[in-house]
Chains A and B, each alone.
Chain A
């Protein structure tokens, strides 16, 4: 490219930059045409330099040059190339296969690294896609809305967002909206997860009931297998089942027209009039058994009570409905039905509520947005942040996997210099060499895509379990995944192939074949990359170890009561006196059983719902959690008393008294709690309940929360009945104890199902979402570690190849294995160290601000954690790079030096 411009030396600099552009054009342009084009460009440039000055001329030159990159020029390339390709492709294939097989181990590692990256990305892509597709299958999705309430919270009046938002709405709203608002086409209420005892012939089990309205079947696209959507629920004693329930009770018999009995606070008969497909995994609504809302307990009373929020409500609007009018109409409904109540609330509030603040409002969310609207608590609701974080991790892992693939390919191709030399001598054109190398690399990357897809299929069930999703690989999804994977791996393959091919094909054959030839693979970009990927792995290691330790801490922390070996059994009697009698019966029957230590009853176990009462004392708004208990509650759970005494069934007045926790004492600022009264019923005549004891604070709430005021009471009428039975087993033989309890249950209550959980499992369930995240992070960490080790392996390989000769000389001069080992590994240790220094503060920040902030009780982040993670990471790095170091150190120097 040494053309002579008749210009002075000083212009050489600019000519060189023009030269680069020309080279680029030469690459893009068919060689037959190139000379004429280049000449024209230069001629014009020379002319322009004289007329418009050098700078402008140069700009014009470049611009004109760029315009040559048009299809009319570039596409002319193809004709000459396609001939070579078709002839040589068979040969490329053969050579590629041979090369891959020759270095089985390397090829495997290389392909495997990329497939892991691809597999991880595909899984995350599936996850994100599933999140996006949640609830999208409903035909009427764009016109279905969930009504939500937004109410001013006097407890939080001074916080940034002093509103409560919830999807729980008055029972009367759905019929009212349908009757009074012209926009509303259909409306249904939806109460899921009600437990009821289902009875058909001799089969009796507890099932989850869902109460809906007739419009439910018209609004949502859940197909009915049997029955007519327009006629279901004309009568309130109709029932619709899913095929699973049908199979469980009816077997192969057609269930339509059969009568079953269900006990949900009162037994009723129902006739099966429909069978409905179950909701898919990516649905915000789910059900097993559908019955009409009118069967809910206290239905009539709730219909008229606009202060009682007890059901989610969905509406479908007419297609021409205007959302602003709908909102105004909702406000009118509030004004009509709730005005008196709202004014009363405003007046009674302990804080002054400004008149411009609305006490209460209805809001609504379109069906496709339910799943990611995390402000409203809902089953399966998800945080869009999860998708972002996972997507980010997937992107990073993919990036690292790709660059690793490239650096690993570099290592292997370096040893093929001689091959390139011979090929050139025999007459291979440079282009052909480029195609050959690219083809090989492409083959390997496509193979890794296939492996990656295989990994996806293999890991999908586990992934579904981790993420609690039900993603199925359908045909269309597989095709999507494979095609995206194909494009990705082709790009990576070409990129990975292009650098070594361009690099190797540049050698002068004579120099290569003569032997006196040293070259270094230039892989400068891999060093920062190693730091980056090690930093990422270190970040993930520290984060997941931290999550693990927090989980450990939570599960082993002393909660202030003993949660082991306690069975939790619902009494299945409903909310009445029978519940307490059932507890008594069990206690009386088991008192002589050696396997059972003690029996107690309570209103609810931990993490199975709670009651919280709000009350005003001396003008101050207070609240406390309440549990109905019996005298054996405290001893059975091993709760410690700090003052006073336990309830005593012999003292009749104890039903009036309460036992409070220390947090309540602090909240009330009592100094002598045993002489105080807790007037939680706001009794204007009496003093309230006398305090008969104080228990040491125990974690009746999740460890995300701090100790809250709480009291225990035996007051059946005002607090509640003992609807939950707790049985402490004596021995560690849980299965035996459980069998014993079950047989006693069947003997005492033969017509009631025996449902049970273990207390420690109930408690652990509170942290399920954290457990899930820990698993996902663990998975990501595993992937990241594996991939960064592969990358390090590649870099170490390049390093060893580059220094083969140096090592040979050093060995001749007397260096031993140890010296060479240190020589080769020193820099990696340094890189890993730098990576850790970057990762440590980052993970500290991540864990403290994002993860641990949810917990009030948390494990401390100590320096040992960092030291340990760093040590483990360094060790891993060392093991990885040692392969090359030892291999290089063991080569006989004569081998490497014999050509000199």
Chain B
């Protein structure tokens, strides 16, 4: 018996998923630089500021995040932050992907578990 894993027809790349998750984690503080630093802190992984930006815009195009400009600050040369927040569609996507993973993981034969 094979169980069919149902995936949304939209597909998220690994980095997209990571960034989307970070937006979810950071809540009101989710903007480009913060995400880069968060990825580094939590995963020890270096990422590109420009890559993060491009990914965020792409996610916005797909409707998984939305953005608005935050208030001005004294740092950053007075520039405002573009704050991203995850949409319901984005959350649903994350959930689907997580479930799909878990389902797949269940299909890995038990035997291998023992060997580990």
Contact = CB atoms under 8 A, between A and B. Distances in A.
B111 to A, nearest CB: 44
Interface stretch (A68-76, A388-396, A735-743): A68-76
User: Which among A35, A43, A73 has the greatest number of chain B C-beta atoms within 10 A?
Assistant: A43
A40 B54 CA distance: 13
Contacts of B44: none
Interface stretch (B5-13, B17-25, B45-53, B97-105): B45-53
User: Which among A33, A40, A41, A68 has the greatest number of chain B C-beta atoms within 10 A?
Assistant: A40
Nearest to A42: B77
A119 B94 CA distance: 62
User: Which among B50, B77, B81 has the greatest number of chain A C-beta atoms within 10 A?
Assistant: B77
Given A35-B69, A35-B82, A40 B77 contact: no
17 contacts: A3-B79, A4-B78, A35-B79, A36-B53, A36-B67, A36-B79, A39-B76, A40-B32, A40-B33, A42-B77, A43-B75, A44-B36, A44-B49, A64-B49, A67-B49, A68-B50, A72-B54
Interface in B59-107: 67, 69, 74-82
B42 to A, nearest CB: 18
A294 interface: no
A75 to B, nearest CB: 10
B71 to A, nearest CB: 12
Contacts of A265: none
Interface bin, chain A: 20 to 34
Given A67-B48, A67-B49, A38 B54 contact: no
Interface in A567-603: none
Contacts of A67: 48-51
Nearest to A71: B54
A38 B31 CA distance: 12
A42 B53 CA distance: 15
A76 B82 contact: no
Contacts of A418: none
A484 B82 CA distance: 45
Interface string A39-71: 111111010000000000000000010011010
A189 B80 CA distance: 85
A382 to B, nearest CB: 53
A67 B49 CA distance: 8
B77 to A, nearest CB: 3
A36 B49 contact: no
Given A37-B53, A72-B58, 16 more contacts: A35-B79, A36-B82, A37-B32, A39-B80, A40-B32, A40-B33, A40-B49, A40-B76, A40-B81, A44-B33, A44-B36, A68-B49, A68-B53, A70-B50, A72-B53, A76-B57
Contacts of B54: 70, 72-73
Contacts of B79: 3, 35-36, 38-39, 42-43
Contacts of B57: 33, 72-73, 76
A6 to B, nearest CB: 8
A5 B74 CA distance: 9
Contacts of B51: 67
A39 B50 contact: no
B33 A3 contact: no
A819 B79 CA distance: 57
Given A67-B49, A73-B54, A36 B32 contact: yes
B77 A4 contact: yes
A38 B50 contact: no
A67 B48 CA distance: 8
Interface in A233-287: none
Interface in A1-21: 3-6
Nearest to A39: B79
Contacts of B58: 72
A424 to B, nearest CB: 27
Contacts of B31: 36, 40
Contacts of B75: 42-43, 46
Given A44-B33, A67-B48, A72-B58, A39 B53 contact: no
Nearest to B72: A39
Contacts of B74: 6
Q: Which 8 A-B pairs have the closest CB atoms?
A: A3-B77, A39-B79, A36-B82, A72-B54, A40-B32, A39-B76, A40-B33, A67-B50
A76 B80 CA distance: 20
Contacts of A72: 50, 53-54, 57-58
Interface in B28-43: 31-33, 36
B37 to A, nearest CB: 9
A479 B50 CA distance: 41
A610 B58 CA distance: 83
B51 to A, nearest CB: 8
Contacts of B82: 33, 35-36, 39
Contacts of B67: 36
A41 B31 CA distance: 12
Contacts of B50: 64, 67-68, 70, 72-73
Nearest to A3: B77
Contacts of A5: 77
B25 to A, nearest CB: 18
Nearest to B54: A72
Contacts of B53: 33, 36-37, 40, 68, 72-73
A229 to B, nearest CB: 63
Given A4-B78, A36-B82, A41 B49 contact: yes
B72 to A, nearest CB: 9
A64 B49 CA distance: 7
A4 B51 CA distance: 27
A200 B115 CA distance: 102
B57 to A, nearest CB: 7
Contact of A38 (B36, B48, B69, B77): B77
A108 B78 CA distance: 51
B33 A43 contact: yes
A836 B98 CA distance: 79
A858 B76 CA distance: 76
User: Which among B53, B80, B82 has the greatest number of chain A C-beta atoms within 10 A?
Assistant: B53
A46 to B, nearest CB: 6
B76 A42 contact: yes
A70 B55 CA distance: 12
A6 B74 CA distance: 9
Contacts of A70: 50, 54
Nearest to B61: A76
Contacts of B48: 64, 67
B52 to A, nearest CB: 9
A437 to B, nearest CB: 31
Contacts of A76: 57
A740 B32 CA distance: 100
B23 to A, nearest CB: 14
A4 B79 CA distance: 10
B78 A43 contact: no
A36 B80 contact: yes
B77 A39 contact: yes
A37 B74 CA distance: 16
Contacts of B69: 35-36
Contacts of A3: 77-79
A704 B48 CA distance: 70
A20 B67 CA distance: 28
Nearest to B81: A39
Contacts of A64: 48-50
B80 A35 contact: yes
A827 to B, nearest CB: 46
B15 to A, nearest CB: 12
A46 B78 contact: no
Interface string A56-99: 00000000100110101100100000000000000000000000
A597 to B, nearest CB: 92
Nearest to B56: A36
A39 B50 CA distance: 13
Contacts of A43: 33, 75-76, 79
A850 B45 CA distance: 65
Interface string A290-332: 0000000000000000000000000000000000000000000
